[in-house]
A and B are shown apart, each in its own frame.
Chain A
Amino acid sequence: DVKVTQSSRYLVKRTGEKVFLECVQDMDHENMFWYRQDPGLGLRLIYFSYDVKMKEKGDIPEGYSVSREKKERFSLILESASTNQTSMYLCASSLNAGTGELFFGEGSRLTVL
């Protein structure tokens, strides 16, 4: 069974803290994605990666960075968390870039106080 695992389901952080959201997939997929989900705004792409060490900005990259040191792991980093980054974060992976099925993790709900 395919699996995308996000390490933390719920996090509470303080403004200015550095936050790491970890994502691991066991499907040997080349492509990995980080989305942010907010009510009324749908899913918005933050960053994506089509290969190890490679990263591309999505639609809302400001305030975020990513790391992909290994094929199975894609990390989202908030260098200095702010209250407007309180949200649900979803990681996904896919076999085929673009038109392939996305497999999502269960999400990480981040609250920044």
Chain B
Amino acid sequence: GENVEQHPSTLSVQEGDSAVIKCTYSDSASNYFPWYKQELGKGPQLIIDIRSNVGEKKDQRIAVTLNKTAKHFSLHITETQPEDSAVYFCASYNTDKLIFGTGTRLQVFP
């Protein structure tokens, strides 16, 4: 079945710097790749997604890139702010369900 690997598991950056989180998937048939942000004490919330017919998508300070050939996709956060501190999950949709990565804890220091 599909397997999603996510790196790094923790990431610390200074406010204003960029942060990049990377995921790889195993099944070339996967066609939808969302990213979820989980703040402390809350459930995950969708922040951006990309479909397999698109290479890049941006929404203000966040962007996602997809390389279908290499089977990996990445989340880019520019000009990080303390409120970006959270756990981020990537996911891959395959056949009939989403498979999530193991999560990245991002800490943004003022």
Chain A residues in contact with chain B, CB under 8 A?
A: 4, 35, 40-45, 48, 56, 58-59, 90, 92, 97-99, 101-102, 104-107
In the complex, which of the residues B41, B43, B96, B103 contacts A92, with contact meaning CB atoms closer than 8 Å? Answer: B43
CB–CB A42/B98 < 8 A: no
| 10 pairs, A vs B, C-beta closer than 8 Å | A40-B102, A42-B89, A43-B89, A59-B97, A97-B96, A98-B93, A99-B32, A101-B49, A102-B34, A104-B44
Given A45-B98, A90-B43, A101-B34; 7 other pairs, CB 8 A cutoff? A35-B100, A40-B102, A42-B102, A59-B1, A59-B99, A101-B49, A106-B42
Shortest Cβ distance from B53 into chain A, in angstroms?
12
Q: B45's closest neighbor in chain A, by CB?
A: A104
Q: B9's closest neighbor in chain A, by CB?
A: A40
Looking at chain B's contact residues, the main secondary structure is strand
CB–CB A98/B32 < 8 A: yes
**Bound form: Cα–Cα A48–B89 in Å:** 19
Q: Which residues of B contact A107 (CB under 8 A)?
A: 42-43
> Which of B43, B45, B103 has the most C-beta atoms of chain A within 10 angstroms of its own C-beta?
B43
> Which of A58, A59, A102 has the most C-beta atoms of chain B within 10 angstroms of its own C-beta?
A102
**Bound form: Cα–Cα A66–B42 in Å:** 23
CB–CB A43/B100 < 8 A: yes
B46 interfacial contact with A, CB 8 Å? yes
Q: Which residues of A contact B96 (CB under 8 A)?
A: 56, 97-98
CB–CB B43/A43 < 8 A: no
CB–CB A43/B44 < 8 A: yes
**Bound form: Cα–Cα A56–B97 in Å:** 11
Shortest Cβ distance from A65 into chain B, in angstroms?
18
Q: Which residues of A contact B99 (CB under 8 A)?
A: 59
Q: B4's closest neighbor in chain A, by CB?
A: A42
Q: A101's closest neighbor in chain B, by CB?
A: B46
Which 4 A-B pairs give the minimum distances between C-beta atoms? A104-B43, A43-B100, A42-B102, A99-B32
